[in-house]
């Protein structure tokens, strides 16, 4: 099936490219607007007919899956939602009806492995509490399906490695859902920082925080170390860490960190509230990051260059972003067309499968973040700077 699909996609992509001419280039208009920010493959590809789109199963029908991911399939060009995996049959049936999914494609956590016998399912998207990512990704790969897994990839380095090994053994793709790496404002920031348009990059500051709500069912498991793996760092500090890595294109060589949790706050009996960490990169760039379960909503990235300072705020929201560049002669705001980053990342994996390419954010990318987050905890525990 994939050969004919690939041929069709290649032909359509070429036609599409020919009609636009400027593919692959970033064009900045005289008004300072980025007209064509860097793209992933899927952003440049035409839509496949429904019968040729890859079939996806979503595992875990929680807040993020039902409010962001499942509705986004309507905007996907290469992917369609065809199956659901849930412990709650009534909930799954309700969503199956809403999304036109055949009830025979509803699975539970016990019969999940029998998804191997369903040729309609090409890819499985794991949207469960963090501690369940490894088990369901590995079982999914063993069932012969490609895997998209939510961040953080897993709780331990060993689990991440086991997921990578399982996908390799089954000859399936494994991608981590780092949506910011498919989102146009973040792609523009990467391009601005790496192309020298801000001068020489000296420092990055990134802060991610929110006020954990014990009444929200989606936050209940986040307060339990066994299910969450860690506290604010694992959940949202990972966005600050990711930002430093994708903006610099480098890996940190030194880490120091401190943590603090409000004493007697029942939310932080098992997991940490605040983590501040500093990273040194090989080029000399320093990064100061913070992560908190006590802040009001904060999703900010700042890049300090010798000629200009870039600020993305909000940087990692679902739909609204703002990018400003401050220079000696004033502040410029860049208006970039918002796109559905979830649809873009989902299609990126489908297209990587169709073209047999490594996705941009493979398992190894998720493993690196888990490795670094473990070192951040270690640096804070020991009070020592860690050289990597």
Active site residues: 151, 239
CB 179 → ligand NAD: shortest distance, Å? Answer: 5
Q: How many CA atoms lie within 13 A of 287 on its CB side?
A: 30
Angle 184-194/238-248 helices, nearest 10 degrees?
40
| Residue 237 engages ligand NAD in binding (rule: CB under 6 A) | no
Q: Which of residues 67-126 bind ligand NAD (CB under 6 A)?
A: 87
CB of 197 within 8 A of CB of 188?
no
Q: How many CB atoms lie within 10 A of CB 106?
A: 19
| Residue 179 engages ligand NAD in binding (rule: CB under 6 A) | yes
CB 173 → ligand NAD: shortest distance, Å? Answer: 18
Q: Are strands 54-59 and 123-126 parallel, antiparallel or unpaired?
A: parallel
CA distances to 177, 238, 373 from 93, rounded to whole Å, are: 26, 34, 38
| Residue 227 engages ligand NAD in binding (rule: CB under 6 A) | yes
CB nearer to ligand NAD: give 55 or 229. 229
CB nearer to ligand NAD: give 132 or 353. 132
CA distances to 300, 351, 355 from 256, rounded to whole Å, are: 20, 39, 41
Stretch that binds ligand NAD, among 60-68, 71-79, 284-292, 355-363 (CB under 6 A): 60-68
What is the per-residue binding string for ligand NAD in 133-152, x denoting contact by CB under 6 A? -----------------xx-
Q: Which of residues 315-334 bind ligand NAD (CB under 6 A)?
A: none
CB nearer to ligand NAD: give 179 or 267. 179
CB nearer to ligand NAD: give 154 or 255. 154
Residue length of the chain: 388
Which of residues 37, 41, 118, 129 is near ligand NAD by CB under 6 A? 129
Which of residues 144, 202, 203, 221 is near ligand NAD by CB under 6 A? 221
| Residue 294 engages ligand NAD in binding (rule: CB under 6 A) | no
Report the distance separating Cα 382 and Cα 385, nearest Å: 8
Stretch that binds ligand NAD, among 129-137, 277-285, 296-304, 363-371 (CB under 6 A): 129-137
| Residue 127 engages ligand NAD in binding (rule: CB under 6 A) | yes
CB nearer to ligand NAD: give 234 or 304. 234
| Residue 218 engages ligand NAD in binding (rule: CB under 6 A) | yes
DSSP states of 242-255 as a string? HHHHHHH-S--SEE
Which of residues 82, 101, 176, 177 is near ligand NAD by CB under 6 A? 177
CB nearer to ligand NAD: give 47 or 98. 98
* Alpha helices (H) along the chain: 2-20, 63-64, 70-72, 89-99, 133-142, 157-169, 184-194, 217-220, 225-228, 232, 238-248, 341-354, 363-382
| Burial class of residue 264 (count of CB atoms within 10 Å of its CB; 0-12, 13-18, 19+) | exposed
Q: How many CB atoms lie within 10 A of CB 7?
A: 10
Nearest to 221, CA basis, from 267, 286, 161: 267
Which of residues 42, 54, 58, 61 is near ligand NAD by CB under 6 A? 61
Residues at the site binding ligand NAD, with contacts judged by CB under 6 A: 60-65, 87, 127-130, 132, 150-151, 177, 179, 217-218, 221, 227, 235
């Amino acid at each position: 099936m994939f050969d004919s699909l690939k041929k069709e996609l290649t032909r359509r992509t070429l036609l599409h490219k020919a009609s636009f001419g400027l593919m692959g280039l970033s064009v900045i208009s005289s008004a300072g607007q980025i007209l064509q920010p860097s793209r992933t493959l899927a952003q440049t590809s035409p839509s496949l007919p429904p019968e040729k789109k890859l079939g996806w199963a979503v595992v875990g029908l929680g807040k993020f899956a039902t409010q962001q991911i499942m509705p986004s399939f309507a905007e996907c060009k290469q992917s369609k939602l065809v199956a659901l995996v849930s412990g709650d049959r009534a909930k799954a049936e309700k969503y199956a009806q809403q999304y036109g999914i055949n009830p025979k494609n509803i699975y539970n956590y016990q019969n999940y492995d029998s998804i191997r016998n369903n040729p309609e399912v090409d890819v499985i998207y794991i949207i469960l509490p963090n501690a369940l990512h490894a088990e369901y990704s590995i079982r999914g790969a063993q069932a012969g399906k490609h895997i998209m897994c939510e961040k953080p990839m897993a709780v331990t380095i060993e689990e991440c490695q086991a997921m990578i090994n399982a996908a390799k053994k089954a000859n399936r793709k494994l991608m981590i859902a780092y949506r910011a790496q498919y989102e146009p404002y973040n792609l523009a920031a990467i391009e601005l920082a790496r192309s020298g348009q801000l001068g020489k990059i000296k420092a990055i500051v990134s802060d991610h925080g929110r006020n954990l709500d014990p009444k929200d069912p989606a936050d209940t498991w986040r307060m339990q170390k066994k299910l969450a793996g860690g506290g604010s760092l694992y959940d949202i500090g990972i966005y600050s860490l990711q930002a430093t890595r994708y903006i610099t294109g480098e890996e940190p060589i030194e880490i120091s960190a401190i943590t603090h949790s409000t004493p007697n706050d029942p939310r932080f009996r098992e997991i940490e509230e605040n983590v501040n960490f500093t990273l040194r990169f090989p080029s000399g760039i320093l990064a100061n990051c913070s992560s908190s379960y006590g802040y009001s909503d904060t999703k900010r990235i700042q890049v300090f260059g010798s000629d200009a300072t870039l600020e993305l705020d909000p940087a990692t929201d679902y739909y609204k972003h703002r990018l400003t560049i401050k220079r000696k002669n004033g502040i410029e705001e860049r208006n970039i067309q918002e796109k559905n980053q979830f649809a873009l990342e989902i299609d990126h994996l489908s297209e990587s499968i169709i073209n047999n390419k490594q996705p941009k954010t493979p398992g190894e990318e998720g493993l690196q973040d888990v490795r670094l987050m473990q070192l951040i905890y270690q640096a804070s525990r020991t009070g020592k700077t860690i050289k990597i």
